[in-house]
């Protein structure tokens, strides 16, 4: 499989029972839908090995704003599911196969900025909470059904996999997200 951003080969990595493909051109990560579903199970910070590989290939010069095609399906442009302008985070999802592409530059930055696990957990929680709490598209999702919440939880667990955080949507007293 080729990286949708750079066209370079992806490296398949199995971490904590989840198989992902890391781009050797930009450090972005592809999650197949059936692998994403494993995030519904609890995953603690098993992502250290993944982070090392992502860091190895991370290229800050790659344009993460450009629209990309699904690396699995032919001629399907990935949908930007939600996007936090403030946090520069986007999840690009395939409407056909349900796979997800994640550009990971900022998650890597958090991991580097905070040396202790406690500090990192705190920073990551604030970061992930901000994505889910303040993004207008996420706010709109609040009006939707349980399926959206399940999906948001899955995405939050995906983030947590890379950047350990205690934040999970739906567990707050201020609302579903
Ligand atoms: Zn697809």
pLDDT digits (tens), the chain, 177 positions: 999 999 999 999 887 778 889 999 998 989 898 887 776 554 555 566 777 788 888 888 988 888 999 999 989 999 876 545 555 556 788 989 989 888 876 666 666 667 677 777 777 777 777 766 666 666 666 555 566 667 777 777 777 666 666 666 666 554 444
In angstroms, what is the span from residue 32 Cα to ligand 1's centroid? 8
Q: How high is the pLDDT of residue 157?
A: 73
Instruction: Give, as residue ranges, everything with CB less than 5 Å from ion ligand 1.
Output: 70, 72-73, 94, 96-97
pLDDT of residue 138: 62
Phi first, then psi: give them for residue 114, nearest 5 degrees: -115, 110
Q: What is the CA radius of gyration of the chain?
A: 15
**Cα–Cα distance measured from residue 140 to residue 8, given in angstroms and rounded to the nearest whole number:** 36
How far is residue 6 CA from its own chain's centroid? 18
Q: 75 C-alpha vs ligand 1 centroid, how far in Å?
A: 9
Query: What pLDDT, on a 0 to 100 scale, did the predictor assign at position 54?
Result: 81
Residue 134 backbone phi and psi in degrees, to 5: -105, -10
- 150 C-alpha to center of ligand 1: Å? 20
């Amino acid at each position: 499989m080729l990286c949708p951003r750079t066209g370079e080969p992806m490296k398949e990595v199995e971490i904590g029972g989840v198989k992902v493909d890391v781009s050797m051109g930009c450090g972005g990560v592809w999650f197949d839908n059936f692998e994403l579903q494993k995030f519904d199970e609890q995953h603690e910070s098993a992502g250290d090995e993944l982070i090392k590989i992502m860091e190895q290939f991370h290229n800050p010069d790659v344009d993460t704003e450009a629209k990309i095609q699904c690396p699995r399906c032919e001629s399907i442009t990935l949908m930007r599911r939600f996007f936090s302008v403030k946090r520069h985070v986007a999840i690009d999802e395939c409407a056909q196969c349900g796979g997800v592409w994640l550009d990971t530059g900022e998650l890597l930055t958090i991991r580097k900025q905070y040396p202790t696990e406690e500090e990192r957990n705190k920073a990551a929680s604030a970061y992930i909470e901000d994505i889910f709490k303040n993004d207008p598209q996420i706010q709109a999702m609040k009006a939707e059904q349980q399926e959206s919440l399940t999906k948001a939880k899955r995405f939050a667990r995906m983030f947590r996999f890379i950047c350990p955080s205690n934040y999970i949507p739906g567990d707050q007293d201020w609302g579903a997200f």
